[in-house]
């Protein structure tokens, strides 16, 4: 169980020396309890206290990095069960399966799909993160060859090597060891040999057991063999098993601080039916998997899965913002209407959606209001006549359009005079208060 | 360290609702978070209603319009097609043609459509207005009367018009959808206002407002999750009605369901993309708490049904 601030305080020197940067030991203890400070900041803490606090302050889900370089994927470090409590920390990785029984051409094709999977969405670059190579042949040479092919053809993707055979694992791991692959497939019967390979190559080990009791025993055994970076498969296959097992794992780790299940989870979502596979992946994204293995990476499926991952892993305390600029909707001409609103993502999505519905080509000026909606931004002084005037002047829009009319949201009708004063030569028109009235408003102009 | 299953049990329970008068559909009734059968009972599967409307779906994108090409000319044919060919568990008739900016059909027109559709089907009917608060308070009253004692779902009652609509639903023995905009406190407040009129809280359905994948889905997702947690952990009766996700309407207007592949090659095939968009939106909201979903594309519904089978 995580320690409270007062429990931590009892273990500190209680000198209030301020060397940690906090005014008192109690204040520092409170920060430690909220995981907003590190014990390293205290130079005088005793070794005993370090041991107790170190164990208690370790994140409930162990941080593990998959792959190398700037596209390496961080996993674990989660602290909550529900996203409204606090941000889900590390978005899950999507991996696509490659079998070592496939032809080289087929493997190359999947690598190409992975390499070209990157999509930019609301300022984030999203992609298929990893390739899971399964040792379907159970042959060492084929496994090694497939690993080499993937390493060469997909230079940015993280690599997961899937086999339960320690003999075939050895050469494949060695061949791509510099990519820090995850070796997946340790179980009760091969634990020693697989742990040996992971340890020798300093890589993380994926373990698999049927059920959570067996899984806890297995991770303890692996840890006892000297491997600390573990990724777990609970054997969950159906959507129901995934939601139940993953929830119990997350609860055990976070609410009970149960270390044997405090590792990232890998889930196998592959199905013959691509739509069902997509939905299984949705359940994995929403309910706590850190790696989701897929059988295919169609572009439309990627887009939907990347988007759901982005939505679920958005920080609930920071409003999603869109970039300040003048967006074109449809194909506006130099005479098309110009409207303005704030950059809260929901505001933008709803307004732009309704403008699209109207089928009237428009320009939508989206002004940075720190992610606040129209009325809130106005009340907070972030959507004011002078700021609007400055934004419009600096945007260069005056060179793009012939008219000088700007449509403002009905809720801030009160500003229309002030904007006309600050923007000489411009006419301000008051639009509807609610976005759903925009189509009628635009069509009637 | 021995593993002890960290099960949780809750004092609260979601109300179970039965709709329809001939063939019925049942949803809600669980005392656990969505599909967490390890904690409690999840006795009923979510129910999916096929959305149809009183006027031809000229505003629906091609992908979903084509699915109903030969039947959507009139609501009766369309409803029968959904029931007989697509095995719909329920039909959601949206009276969008009554909107003043659309065909501006009258309340009497709407009442006739409701009667005709009810005569043609035996599965439960959900009757939805055009989301114009003034017009809905007239149209839905007439529709509720036209469907008297058929145990339909009437919606949506909002803060600005709930009194007349709730009264009509109550007088004609229907269930009622209460919709507020993406805020758990507004949802709670509206449910309280409606029950204070004497409307039975066990006949309410909460609609916290849907959002499409990529367009605020996370807000709807978390509001639903919080409503469920309040219902179960705090045993808050005002948060215990089942939750509606009105998916199709929100999904089939976003860019991802319409943009041609030629314009956005990175997004892949437009038809599969559109169907996937509706499927993923619906699947996410089911995992966060929705028990009743309104959807459009038959392929999306099929996928969701398979998902539901795996979840139970």
Q: What is the pLDDT of residue A324?
A: 92
**Chain B residue nearest residue A297, CA to CA:** B268
Q: Give the best residue of A55, A299, A347, A350 to mutate against chain B (max B CB count within 10 A).
A: A299
pLDDT (tens digit per residue) in B229-283: 999 999 999 999 999 999 999 999 888 999 899 989 999 999 999 999 999 999 9
- Check CB contact under 8 Å for A82 and B222: yes
Stretch (H or E) spanning B138: helix B133-146
A225 with A91, same domain: the answer is: yes
Question: What are A37's two structure tokens?
Answer: 């400070």
* A237 found inside a domain: yes
- Check CB contact under 8 Å for A316 and B222: yes
Q: Provide the number of structural domains found in chain A.
A: 3
- Check CB contact under 8 Å for B36 and A247: yes
CA distance B291 to chain A (A): 16
A35 with A69, same domain: the answer is: no
Neighbours of B58 (CB within 10 A): 8
pLDDT (tens digit per residue) in B78-95: 999 999 999 999 999 999
B53: which strand partners?
B94
- Check CB contact under 8 Å for B213 and A356: no
Query: What is the arithmetic mean of pLDDT over B49-73?
Result: 96
**A353 falls in which pLDDT band (50, 70, 90)?**
confident
Please, how many CA atoms are within 13 Å of residue A85, restricted to the half-sphere of its CB?
9
Please say if the pLDDT value at position A54 is more than 80. Answer: no
**For the ranges A11-15, A167-171, B38-42, which has the lowest average pLDDT?**
A11-15
- Check CB contact under 8 Å for B3 and A308: no
A390 with A343, same domain: the answer is: yes
Q: What is the pLDDT of residue A371?
A: 87
Cβ-Cβ contacts under 8 Å for A200 (sequence gap 6 or more): none
Q: Give the best residue of A209, A243, A311, A322 to mutate against chain B (max B CB count within 10 A).
A: A311
Q: Which residues of B touch A259 (CB under 8 A)?
A: 1
Please say if the pLDDT value at position A1 is more than 50. Answer: no
Q: Which residues of B touch A273 (CB under 8 A)?
A: 303, 306
Looking at residue A39, the DSSP 8-state letter turns out to be G
**Chain A residue nearest residue B184, CA to CA:** A84
Question: What are A133's two structure tokens?
Answer: 């190579």
First to last CA, chain A: 64
Q: What is the pLDDT of residue A80?
A: 93
Q: By C-alpha distance, which of A410, A374, A367, A371 is closest to A389? A: A367
Q: What is the pLDDT of residue A2?
A: 63
CA B217, chain centre distance (Å): 15
A167 with A222, same domain: the answer is: yes
Percent of chain A surpassing pLDDT 70: 99
Query: What is the arithmetic mean of pLDDT over A354-364?
Result: 90
* A16: region left, alpha or beta (phi > 0 left; psi from -120 to 50 alpha): left
A394 with A412, same domain: the answer is: yes
Query: What is the arithmetic mean of pLDDT over B33-38?
Result: 97
A353 with A430, same domain: the answer is: yes
Please say if the pLDDT value at position A3 is more than 80. Answer: no
* A318 found inside a domain: no
Please say if the pLDDT value at position A116 is more than 80. Answer: yes
Q: Which residues of A touch B214 (CB under 8 A)?
A: 121, 307, 310-311
* A280 found inside a domain: yes
List the single residue in B35, B215, B217 with the smallest CB-CB distance to A240: B35
* A154 found inside a domain: yes
A304 with A384, same domain: the answer is: no
Q: Give yes or no for B38 touching A (CB within 8 A).
A: yes
Domain endpoint, select from A282, A312, A342: A312
Neighbours of A381 (CB within 10 A): 9
Please say if the pLDDT value at position A310 is more than 90. Answer: yes
- 10 Å CB burial of residue A292 (0-12, 13-18, 19+) is buried
Cβ-Cβ contacts under 8 Å for A312 (sequence gap 6 or more): A83, A88, A285, A286, B218, B221, B284
Q: By C-alpha distance, which of A302, A345, A320 is closest to A125? A: A302
Considering just the CA atoms, what is the radius of gyration of chain A in Å? 27
A84: which strand partners?
none
- Check CB contact under 8 Å for A276 and B307: yes
pLDDT (tens digit per residue) in A192-239: 999 999 999 999 999 999 999 999 999 999 999 999 999 999 999 999
A231 with A264, same domain: the answer is: yes
CA B279, B280, B286, B289 torsion: positive or negative?
negative
Which residue in this structure is represented by tokens 């029968």?
Answer: B80
CA distance B173 to chain A (A): 31
Cβ-Cβ contacts under 8 Å for A229 (sequence gap 6 or more): A62, A64, A198, A203, A204, A205
* A157 found inside a domain: yes
Residue A343 sits at the vertex; the CA angle it makes with B286 and B247, to the nearest 5 degrees, is: 20
pLDDT (tens digit per residue) in A249-259: 999 999 998 99
CA distance A115 to chain B (A): 12
Rounded distance, CA B14 to CA B243, Å?
9
Judged by CB atoms within 8 Å, which residues 243-262 of B form the interface with A?
Answer: 253-256
List the single residue in B6, B34, B222 with the smallest CB-CB distance to A255: B6
Q: Which residues of A touch B216 (CB under 8 A)?
A: 345-346, 349-350
Q: Give the best residue of B39, B213, B265, B280 to mutate against chain A (max A CB count within 10 A).
A: B280
Using DSSP's 3-state secondary structure scheme, residue B243 falls into: strand
A74 with A36, same domain: the answer is: no
- CATH code: domain of residue A77: 3.20.20.20
**A49 falls in which pLDDT band (50, 70, 90)?**
confident
Please say if the pLDDT value at position B122 is more than 90. Answer: yes
* A230 found inside a domain: yes
Judged by CB atoms within 8 Å, which residues 177-206 of B form the interface with A?
Answer: 182
* A320 found inside a domain: no
Query: What DSSP line would sit under A136-156, residue for residue?
Result: TT--HHHHHHHHHHHHHH-TT
Neighbours of A433 (CB within 10 A): 14
Please, are residues B118 and B125 in contact by the beta-carbon 8 Å criterion?
A: yes
* A317 found inside a domain: no
Q: What is the pLDDT of residue A407?
A: 97
Question: Could you give the domains of chain B?
Answer: 20-311 (3.20.20.20)
Quote the domain boundaries for residue A261. 64-312
Domain endpoint, select from A280, A312, A344: A312
- CATH code: domain of residue A47: 1.10.15.40
Question: What are A103's two structure tokens?
Answer: 């032809």
A83 with A36, same domain: the answer is: no
First to last CA, chain B: 32
Please say if the pLDDT value at position A303 is more than 50. Answer: yes
- Check CB contact under 8 Å for B267 and A119: yes
A344 with A266, same domain: the answer is: no
A154 with A260, same domain: the answer is: yes
Burial call B193-227: b when 16+ CB within 10 Å, e when fewer: bbbeeebeeebbbbbbbbbbbbbbbbbbbbbbbbb
Query: What is the arithmetic mean of pLDDT over B191-195?
Result: 97
């Amino acid at each position: 169980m995580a320690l409270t601030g007062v429990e931590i305080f009892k273990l500190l020197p209680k000198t209030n020396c301020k060397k940690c940067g906090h005014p008192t030991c109690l204040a520092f203890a409170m920060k430690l309890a909220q995981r907003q400070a590190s014990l390293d900041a205290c130079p005088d803490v005793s070794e005993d206290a370090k041991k107790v606090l170190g164990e208690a302050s370790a994140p409930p889900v162990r941080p593990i990095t998959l792959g190398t370089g700037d596209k390496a994927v961080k996993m674990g470090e989660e602290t909550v069960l529900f996203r409204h409590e606090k941000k889900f920390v590390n978005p899950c990785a999507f991996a696509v399966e490659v079998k070592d029984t496939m032809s080289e051409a087929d493997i190359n094709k999947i690598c190409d799909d992975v390499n070209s999977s990157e999509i930019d969405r609301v300022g984030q670059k999203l992609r298929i993160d990893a390739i899971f190579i399964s040792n379907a042949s159970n042959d060492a040479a084929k496994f090694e060859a497939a690993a080499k092919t993937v390493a060469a053809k997909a230079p940015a993707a993280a690599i997961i090597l899937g086999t339960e055979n320690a003999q075939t694992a050895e050469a494949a791991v060695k061949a791509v060891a510099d990519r820090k692959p995850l070796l997946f497939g340790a179980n009760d019967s091969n634990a020693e040999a697989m742990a040996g390979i992971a340890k020798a190559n300093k890589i993380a080990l994926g373990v698999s057991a049927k059920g959570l009791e067996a899984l806890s025993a297995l991770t303890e055994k692996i840890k006892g063999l000297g491997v600390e970076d573990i990724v777990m498969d609970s054997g969950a296959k159906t959507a129901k098993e995934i939601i139940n097992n993953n929830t119990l794992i997350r609860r055990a780790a976070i609410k009970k601080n149960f270390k044997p299940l405090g590792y990232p989870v890998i889930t196998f979502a592959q199905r013959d039916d691509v739509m069902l596979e997509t939905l299984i992946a949705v359940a994995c994204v929403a309910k706590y998997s850190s790696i989701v293995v897929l059988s295919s990476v169609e572009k439309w499926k990627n887009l939907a899965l990347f988007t759901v991952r982005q939505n679920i892993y958005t920080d609930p305390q920071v409003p999603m913002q869109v970039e300040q600029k003048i967006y074109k909707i449809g194909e506006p001409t130099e005479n098309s209407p110009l409207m303005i609103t704030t950059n809260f993502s929901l505001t933008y999505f709803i307004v732009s959606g309704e403008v699209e519905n109207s089928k009237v080509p428009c320009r939508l000026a989206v002004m940075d209001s720190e992610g606040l909606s129209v009325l809130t931004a106005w009340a907070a002084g972030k959507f004011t006549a002078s700021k609007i005037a400055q934004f419009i002047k600096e945007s260069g829009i005056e060179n793009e359009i012939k008219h000088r009319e700007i449509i403002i949201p009905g809720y801030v009708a009160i500003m229309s005079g002030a904007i006309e004063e600050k923007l000489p030569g411009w006419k301000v028109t008051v639009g509807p208060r609610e976005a759903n009235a925009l189509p009628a408003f635009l069509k009637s102009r | 360290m021995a593993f002890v299953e960290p099960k949780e049990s809750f004092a609260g329970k979601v109300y179970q609702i039965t709709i329809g008068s001939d063939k019925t559909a049942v949803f809600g009734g669980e005392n656990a978070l969505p599909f967490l059968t390890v904690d409690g009972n999840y006795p009923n599967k979510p129910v999916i209603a096929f959305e149809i409307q009183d006027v031809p779906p000229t505003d629906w994108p091609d992908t979903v319009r084509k699915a109903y090409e030969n039947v959507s000319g009139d609501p009766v044919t369309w409803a029968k097609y959904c029931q007989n060919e697509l095995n719909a568990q329920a039909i959601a008739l949206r009276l969008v043609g009554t909107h003043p900016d659309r065909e501006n059909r009258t309340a009497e027109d709407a009442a006739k459509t409701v009667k005709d559709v009810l005569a043609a089907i035996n599965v439960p009917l959900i009757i939805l207005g055009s989301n114009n608060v003034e017009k809905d308070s007239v149209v839905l009253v007439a529709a509720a009367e036209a469907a008297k004692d058929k145990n339909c779902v009437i919606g949506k009652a909002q803060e600005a018009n709930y009194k007349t609509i709730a009264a009509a639903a109550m007088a004609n023995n229907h269930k009622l959808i209460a919709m507020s905009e993406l805020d758990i406190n507004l949802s709670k407040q509206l449910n309280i206002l409606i029950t204070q009129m004497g409307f039975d809280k066990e006949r309410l359905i909460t609609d916290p407002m849907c959002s499409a994948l990529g367009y605020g889905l996370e807000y709807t997702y978390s509001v639903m999750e919080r409503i469920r947690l309040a219902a179960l952990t705090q045993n808050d009766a005002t948060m215990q009605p089942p939750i509606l996700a009105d998916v199709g309407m929100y999904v089939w207007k976003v860019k991802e369901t319409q943009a041609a592949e030629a314009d956005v090659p990175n997004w892949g095939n437009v038809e599969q993309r559109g169907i996937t968009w509706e499927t993923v939106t619906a699947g996410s909201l089911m995992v966060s708490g929705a028990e009743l979903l309104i959807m459009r594309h038959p392929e999306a519904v099929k996928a969701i049904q398979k998902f539901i089978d795996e979840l139970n």
